[in-house]
Amino acid sequence: MVRRLRPRQLGIPDQIVRMRSAFPSFVMQWRCGRVKWRGSLQPTDLSSEYVTEVSYRVGQWPKVRIIDPQIAHRDGRPAPHRYADDSLCLFHPKRREWTPTMAIADTILPWASLWLYYYEVWLATGEWVGGGEHPRVKTQPPRSTA
Amino acid sequence: MSMLTVEIQPALSLLDDLLARICRALQLTPTQHALAESHYVSVGNWLGSGGSPLDRYDPMIYPQGSLAIGTTVRPLDRNEYDLDLVGQLEMGARDPVAVLNEVEARLRAHGVYGPMTERMNRCVRLNFAGNFHMDILPARRDPSLPGTCLLVPDRELRDWKPSNPKGYAAWFDARAAQGTSRKILRASIEPLPDHEPAHEKTALQLAVQLVKRWRDIYFASTPDLAPISIVLTTLAGQHYAGEPSPMEALSRVVSSILGALPPFGRLYVLNPMNPLEDLSEKWDDDPRRYPAFVSGLRMLDKDLAAIRGAHGIARAAEQLERLFGPVVPGVITEQARAIEKARRDERLGVTGTRAGALATSVGPSVIAVANNTFYGA
């Protein structure tokens, strides 16, 4: 008899099912082991609508990019909490805030919406109110969940 | 619980919450409110205590105007609020100047209030530097009319004229109680102490505070042309139709006034308590005033539409700042901190079926925001 000692890692089909029920307006594309969803996020009634793309491959971290409108600069400074490839820094990889046992729809998407809210407040006031950490060296996007 | 259930309003309205916070930043603080109250009570006691020549008139002091109906707004150019009070005296027909003189003399005899006392045209003013000044308007019951009808000194002080501040406040409260405004506003973003004044206000009260603030800013360089508060407050009360949201209330009031403007001549804003009194008579004193009011209101109507259609918080913040002044950026940060606090307290969610809209209530379509740290440069 097999006993699970750890929560089960979710496969791409599990992620797709959960996304379809939680964010039904997001369009999915699944090719060569990589799944992509594209849809709109609008965190508040005052916010813009952001076309957002989430991509994921088992064994890597989910990646979130804002496609349209482009993330803007403020007084010549780029928006904080983004990786060098402009994807959003939504969680602390080493603290296991996200693991492959978690549904992207229940974690990554809510964080992305919240990120967009704090980004808009930052654009309006110059202050990032959402907390977070800045690594000492400029980071590359993390490649693997290993 | 003061939070709404997801069935009524799954997403929180950032705009309505912002407007309520703007009003809170502009109105008397709870401390100032308590201070004003304790002072007018003790002024009343002083006027009515033994040894006071006014004792026999059984004086009673109570708020009127914005203090009575909860629509105070800090003036643009100074820190002192204008607070209006009625000093009701049980007396028969008397020369109003003599009555004013007696009130003034009694206040000047007080150790604390004496040096603050200032004689005005139809009232006696007490200056509480840095907080507010209280204008005490002597009044007596109108023997010819029932209920709360009073007589107050006329502007030229030769006679008394009718007034009904308690009746007006009751009228305003009844107008504000239409719809479900109170309930909805209590659903604002947590966490807020239970008794945050602006968050217990009705949409109509907030709309009045906002339109007064807009007036102060719009007419900052031409204050002589600005419509007086009682005109704006009365118009807002007349045109409000029970909208639960302060933004909708303000928009409705403005567009409804514009729709009611007569094609010729000017609008008459009559006292709801006394249809013979034209509250807007000052529009006749200067021919520039009424057109300035109308064009200002048209611009406000357009600006409110622009805010409703704004793309992004930054753009909306710019528009709001133009209408309501430099209080806006601080209020946006304060609101973001409240949302951040809700997130840390694990009371924040997003609605997947509504483009990930933030929500502080739970329900079937609301996903709780899990713990995370925004990381990276």
| A107-132 pLDDT per residue, tens | 999 999 999 999 999 999 999 998 88
Which parts of chain B have pLDDT scores under 50?
A: 1-11, 183-198
| Nearest alpha carbon to residue B90 among B141, B50, B45 | B141
What is the distance between the alpha carbons of residues B169 and A74, in angstroms, rounded to a whole number? 47
Q: C-alpha distances in angstroms, B61 versus A114, B41, B124, B140, B202? A: 51, 7, 13, 12, 26
What is the distance between the alpha carbons of residues B195 and A11, in angstroms, rounded to a whole number? 49
**Top-confidence residue, A18 or B8:** A18
Residue B12 falls inside a structural domain: no
The per-residue pLDDT for B50 is 82
Residue B334 falls inside a structural domain: no
Residues B38 and B156 grouped into a single domain: yes
- With CB atoms and an 8 Å threshold, state whether B355 touches A25: yes
Q: C-alpha distances in angstroms, B234 versus A122, B240, B368? A: 39, 10, 44
Q: How confident is the model at residue A142 (pLDDT cuts 50, 70, 90)?
A: low
Residues B182 and B220 grouped into a single domain: no
The per-residue pLDDT for B6 is 31
Residues B117 and B223 grouped into a single domain: no
Residues B190 and B241 grouped into a single domain: no
Give the SS3 label for residue B174: helix
Helices (H), A23-142: 108-125
Average the pLDDT over A50-65 and give the result: 96
Q: Identify the burial level of B209 via C-beta atoms within 10 angstroms of its C-beta, where 0-12 means exposed, 13-18 middle and 19 or more buried.
A: buried
Last residue of a domain, one of B292, B309, B326: B309
For an interface test with B, give the residue of A38, A42, A46, A108 to mutate (most B CBs within 10 A). Answer: A46
Q: What is the pLDDT of residues B310-336, one digit of tens each?
A: 889 999 999 999 999 999 999 999 999
List, edge to edge, every strand of the sheet that includes A63-68: A27-31, A34-41, A50-57, A63-68
All residues of chain B having their beta carbon less than 8 Å from the beta carbon of residue A80 are 374, 377
| Nearest alpha carbon to residue B269 among B212, B231, B226, B228 | B231
- With CB atoms and an 8 Å threshold, state whether B373 touches A48: no
What is the distance between the alpha carbons of residues B289 and B284, in angstroms, rounded to a whole number? 8
- With CB atoms and an 8 Å threshold, state whether B357 touches A44: yes
Closest Cα in chain B to A71: B312
Q: How far is CA B230 from the centre of its chain?
A: 10
Residues B213 and B116 grouped into a single domain: no
All residues of chain B having their beta carbon less than 8 Å from the beta carbon of residue A22 are 352-353, 367
DSSP secondary-structure letter at B85?
Answer: E
Residue B230 falls inside a structural domain: yes
Residues B170 and B230 grouped into a single domain: no
Contact B277, B154 (CB under 8 A): no
Provide the terminal-to-terminal Cα distance of chain B, rounded to the nearest Å: 39
Residues B42 and B141 grouped into a single domain: yes
Q: How far is CA B325 from the centre of its chain?
A: 16
Amino acid at B198: A
Contact A38, A21 (CB under 8 A): no
Nearest Cβ partner for A115 among B349, B368, B374: B374
Closest Cα in chain B to A127: B333
Which residue spans within chain A are E strands per DSSP? 27-31, 34-41, 50-57, 63-68
Residue B232 falls inside a structural domain: yes
Instruction: Tokens 């010729």: give the residue.
Output: B264
What is the distance between the alpha carbons of residues B356 and A90, in angstroms, rounded to a whole number? 15
All residues of chain B having their beta carbon less than 8 Å from the beta carbon of residue A98 are 372
Q: How confident is the model at residue A146 (pLDDT cuts 50, 70, 90)?
A: very low
Domain of B160, CATH number, reads 3.30.460
Alpha-carbon dihedral B269, B272, B275, B278, rounded to 10 degrees: -30
What is the distance between the alpha carbons of residues A125 and B127, in angstroms, rounded to a whole number? 37
Domain of B229, CATH number, reads 1.10.1410
All residues of chain A having their beta carbon less than 8 Å from the beta carbon of residue B377 are 80-84, 89, 134-135, 138-139
The per-residue pLDDT for B243 is 92
Last residue of a domain, one of B147, B169, B194: B194
Which residue spans within chain B are E strands per DSSP? 60-64, 81-89, 117-119, 124-128, 132-141, 150-153, 160-163, 270-271, 274-278, 349-351, 357-359, 366-368
User: What ipTM score was computed for the predicted complex, to two decimals?
Assistant: 0.87
Cβ atoms within 10 Å, residue B265 = 8
Residues B184 and B57 grouped into a single domain: yes
Phi and psi of A26, rounded to 5°?
Answer: -80, 135
For an interface test with A, give the residue of B313, B327, B348 to mutate (most A CBs within 10 A). Answer: B313
Residues B151 and B263 grouped into a single domain: no
- With CB atoms and an 8 Å threshold, state whether A92 touches B311: no
What is the distance between the alpha carbons of residues B56 and B174, in angstroms, rounded to a whole number? 35
Last residue of a domain, one of B309, B340, B357: B309
Which residue spans within B272-372 are E strands per DSSP? 274-278, 349-351, 357-359, 366-368
> What is the residue range of B249's domain?
202-309
Residues B183 and B270 grouped into a single domain: no
Cβ atoms within 10 Å, residue A129 = 18
Q: Identify the burial level of A6 via C-beta atoms within 10 angstroms of its C-beta, where 0-12 means exposed, 13-18 middle and 19 or more buried.
A: exposed
- With CB atoms and an 8 Å threshold, state whether A91 touches B356: no
Residue B35 falls inside a structural domain: yes
All residues of chain B having their beta carbon less than 8 Å from the beta carbon of residue A127 are 333, 336
All residues of chain B having their beta carbon less than 8 Å from the beta carbon of residue A97 are 370-373
Provide the number of structural domains found in chain B. Answer: 2
Q: What is the pLDDT of residues A75-84, one digit of tens each?
A: 999 999 998 8
- With CB atoms and an 8 Å threshold, state whether B375 touches A92: yes
